[in-house]
């Protein structure tokens, strides 16, 4: 599905894995920070959520561990830490704030395009 995500002109997405065996990072967001949600009142932003590239790679393009992995890295949480290290983080956002958009429907559409559903 990765090629479909890369070619879709209605979405931005990022794929982040800090696995020690296969670290991967790719994104199509237009800037280092991108507001995923926003509410503007009196020219001030309220209740917004950012996607931030600096949480995924450093200035030397080294793939970083998510903050939650660093926080949970104790002997008592070793299994949870290993599970998180070997998982991936995928963020998908519609490009237009003013257009109603369903990520679920977009993923179903892309899955059908590559015959993921029979």
Give 26-85 pLDDT, tens digit per residue.
Answer: 999 998 888 887 767 787 766 677 788 888 888 888 888 777 777 777 777 788 878 888
Q: Which comes out higher in pLDDT, residue 108 or 50?
A: 108
Model pLDDT, residue 12: 92
Model pLDDT, residue 39: 67
Give the closest residue to 93 by CA, choosing from 102, 84, 85: 102
Q: State the pLDDT confidence band at 87, using cuts at 50, 70 and 90.
A: confident
State the average pLDDT over residues 98-118: 82
Residue owning tokens 């479909």: 4
Six-digit token string for 49: 């959520």
Give the closest residue to 40 by CA, choosing from 32, 50, 48, 29: 48
Say which DSSP state 63 is in.
B
């Amino acid at each position: 599905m990765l090629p479909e995500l890369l070619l879709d002109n209605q979405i931005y997405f990022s794929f982040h894995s800090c696995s020690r065996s296969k670290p991967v990072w790719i994104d199509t967001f237009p800037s280092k920070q991108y507001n995923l949600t926003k509410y503007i009142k009196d020219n001030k932003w309220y209740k917004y959520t950012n996607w931030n590239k600096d949480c995924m790679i450093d200035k030397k393009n080294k793939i970083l561990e998510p903050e939650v992995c660093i926080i949970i890295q104790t002997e008592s949480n070793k299994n949870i830490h290993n599970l998180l290290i070997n998982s991936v983080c995928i963020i998908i956002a519609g490009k237009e704030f003013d257009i109603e958009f369903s990520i679920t429907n977009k993923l179903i559409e892309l899955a059908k395009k590559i015959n993921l559903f029979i």
